[in-house]
Structure 1
């Protein structure tokens, strides 16, 4: 074979080898672009006395309001947080409608230690009637993250230091306290408690008697110790009898029964006293 033929054949064979090497799995790998998830910045620490944000709750399977209330002129960072639970048929914005922002500011200006109030939307007496909607799990597992991402309650990892509730929210706050006995205080206003299954069943909220019994504060009056409890209720309130029974059983640190009904008027009159009770226990 001539040298020219040999060179042409070698060139063809060499080209084939290079092509095979390029297609071979053992060849150098093509660079792969990595997918980098976008960085979601943390929401800023609230600078206004009242902020309302929409947040997604996996525990409740829905989007809801997170309402943050801070005394005017006081930086929210480093303040302790009080969880606020609204009543049935209401929402987290109820505390704004009742005038709590101005009450909180006035109390702090009068010398009360400042704190932030965090309210969220709830339902079903703040218990999991539907496994896909668990308000207590939201309060325990999700609220701390929502607060700490906003620079709130950092000394406790975002976990609220106190709790308060109105009506159904008072039921929920007392239930929450059973699982959080390191709270500094809990305030129950016009607590919607039930002295028997017949009353509870009439509300058409609880799945069955066993579920009601497992959550009813009247049946677990000793399970919130050693958290200081305060109870306020109007003497014309339809839940006044149940409130008296709870006071007898739980022996709360503060118990105040005064003229009034299950109304906004009574709650507006009572909230300043409630805030002072909480503030006294939330001193840094």
Structure 2
């Protein structure tokens, strides 16, 4: 027997067994939303030990990008593997992750439906009643990809009383969205008289929300990331967003430019750092470490 090869094989087997033994559960659920007038489906990640614990858990709401649904984070963004690994290595506290289906709503209260209101008044109360979820701001966070980043940013600025931190992964923080964007739909959230209305886009975008956010004097720490080769959400766009938030909360915003374009590998690579930032800023592990 070749002992070095045997030991390597044994170590790999044990590592795989350990990883599989420490795995969260993915559950599909839906709620009847009075605000939307229809059901709102979502996927939820329940951390390992959820059913045995006597404690409640922090919650991170993950908002998908345009064209996505409640399965996107698990199927393409590696959310389950990322959460399992971070929790197993104790880099973040065990958390519940809620991944709702937002269609092309841009996660706002627009012309077609009031999706942000549904998140606030229907989904969050349902999660905190149905699951072992902590129900205070200090244990509730939000993150989003592209369109979901736009929605997470809009929610954080409009309702800072709801979340303790936000992760903005390649957020679609356009001055005006490109023609190919779902925001340009003539029957969508930003439409008026059957045409995309630039004024309605601007009213929901972060420059229009900053004054109100600043006046509320409640800070939401933000983690912003994007790819250096992203031609949709460019590094310059992320830098402009960072500068705007930095002017309000210089020690509670972080910008990271990483290798990659507007693609899944870029989003997957950014997710762990966003979750670790959220964990530290919110103090999910029992201590808060504000970051520069």
Bigger radius of gyration among the two: 1
Tell me the alpha carbon deviations over residues 192-232 of structure 1, each in whole angstroms, 9 at most, x when there is no partner.
11124776897334122332122102443462751101101
Give the TM-score normalised by the residue count of structure 1: 0.74
Q: Match of 2:276?
A: 276
Give the TM-score normalised by the residue count of structure 2: 0.73
The reply on whether 1:210 has 2:191 as its aligned counterpart is no
The reply on whether 1:85 has 2:63 as its aligned counterpart is yes
1:144, 1:160 within 8 Å by CA — same for their partners in 2? no
Distance 1:259 1:127, change over 3 A: same
Distance 1:270 1:48 in 2: 20
Query: Structure 2: where are the runs of 5+ without partners?
Result: 1-22, 192-196, 247-251, 287-292
What are the residue-to-residue correspondences of 1:152-163 with 2, within 5 Å?
Answer: 152-156=132-136, 161-163=140-142
Using the TM superposition, name which of 222-231 and 106-115 deviates more: 222-231
Deviation, 1:175, is 0.8
Q: Match of 2:36?
A: 60
Distance 1:221 1:257 in 2: 23
Q: Match of 1:113?
A: 93
Deviating runs (4+, > 6 A) in structure 1?
197-202
Q: Secondary structure of the residue that 2:47 maps to in structure 1?
A: coil
Deviation, 1:82, is 1.1
Q: Match of 1:180?
A: 159
Q: Secondary structure of the residue that 1:69 maps to in structure 2?
A: strand
Tell me the alpha carbon deviations over residues 80-114 of structure 1, each in whole angstroms, 9 at most, x when there is no partner.
11111110000121111122112111101211222
Q: Secondary structure of the residue that 1:226 maps to in structure 2?
A: coil
Q: Match of 2:5?
A: none
Q: Match of 1:248?
A: 243
Paired residue for 1:171, among 150, 153, 171?
150
Query: Structure 1: where are the runs of 5+ without partners?
Result: 1-46
- Please provide the CA RMSD for this pair: 2.6
Q: Match of 1:143?
A: 123
Q: Match of 1:71?
A: 47
1:233, 1:256 within 8 Å by CA — same for their partners in 2? yes
The reply on whether 1:125 has 2:106 as its aligned counterpart is yes
Q: Secondary structure of the residue that 2:40 maps to in structure 1?
A: strand
Distance 1:130 1:196, change over 3 A: closer
Paired residue for 1:229, among 222, 244, 259?
222
Distance 1:155 1:125, change over 3 A: closer
Distance 2:183 2:58 in 1: 38
1:187, 1:274 within 8 Å by CA — same for their partners in 2? yes
Distance 1:99 1:171 in 2: 20
Q: Match of 1:239?
A: 233
Distance 1:194 1:109, change over 3 A: same
